[in-house]
Amino acid sequence: MSSIASSNHPDTGDSTELFWEPVAERRWGQYISSIELEAIQFALKQVPAFGLALEIGAEGGRWSKILADQGWQMTCTDINADALTVCQKRIPGANCILVDQNSTQLPCDSNSVGILLAIEVHEIVEKEWFVHEANRVLSDNGVFVGVFQNARSWRALMRNLKRDADGEFIHYTASYAPWRTYMRKQGFKMLKEVGLCWMPFGRMSDSSLIPMAVRLEQLLRLRKITTFSPWIVFVAQKKTRP
């Protein structure tokens, strides 16, 4: 791991080094981001004291900046050095750390983190090592905000059939219900869970039909059916040790 040096130049927010932030400006991205933002805002209310927060896969730091602006000291990690440079410009006081994609250790001391963000880093959130590391670094009553891709969903079936055909990166490799049970056994309490991405739009979609589809999702109360939801945005809290 190596730290990314701080830059004295102001960040304009526009960088060709970022991929996910432009995606988030499309209609489907705005829908997903709105639910993620609500989860982060909810998490902030659960931890009254400011302290250290850690974001995994921070990219340009758009989520980390929300916490930094409220007084949190940010540690931001990513596997993309160019994206982390943008993050450092945006949040000069952050500790931006370039990590190896095969690393299985979070770069923080035990019981030191008040808020852990793992937004759309599906490939590691579901791993046992990550749950253990989240438990290790979080302080008592610290909160973990993340996004889970659920293998027990229609999107999992369609995505992995496509992957078998063209060799894409494997998504939807774990089911949410047993993972949630494992989280609870490791000392976490689920405070908030929202099911999403029920409707058949791609991650890059800017379809004008998305607002109507999102409304239908709400009317059918699909966000409460997390066992079979394609994605789940969750907030989990580490229980106080006896």
Q: What pTM was estimated for this model as a whole? A: 0.90
Q: How far is CA 148 from CA 1, 40, 124, in A?
A: 26, 15, 10
pLDDT values of the chain reduced to their tens digit, one per residue, 242 residues: 333 333 333 343 445 579 899 999 999 999 999 999 999 999 999 998 889 999 999 999 999 999 999 999 999 999 999 999 999 999 999 999 999 999 999 999 999 999 999 999 988 999 999 999 999 999 999 999 999 999 999 999 887 776 555 555 568 989 999 999 999 999 999 999 999 999 999 999 999 999 999 999 999 999 999 999 999 999 999 997 76
Tokens of 81: 């050095």
Pairing of strands 138-149, 113-118: parallel
Residue appearing with tokens 């923080």: 108
The contacts of residue 99 (CB under 8 Å, 6+ apart) are: 1, 77, 78, 79, 107
187: left (phi over 0), alpha (psi -120 to 50) or beta: left
Pairing of strands 188-196, 138-149: unpaired
Specify which residues 224 forms β-bridges with.
Answer: none
Specify which residues 238 forms β-bridges with.
Answer: 188
> 237 with 213: CB under 8 angstroms?
no
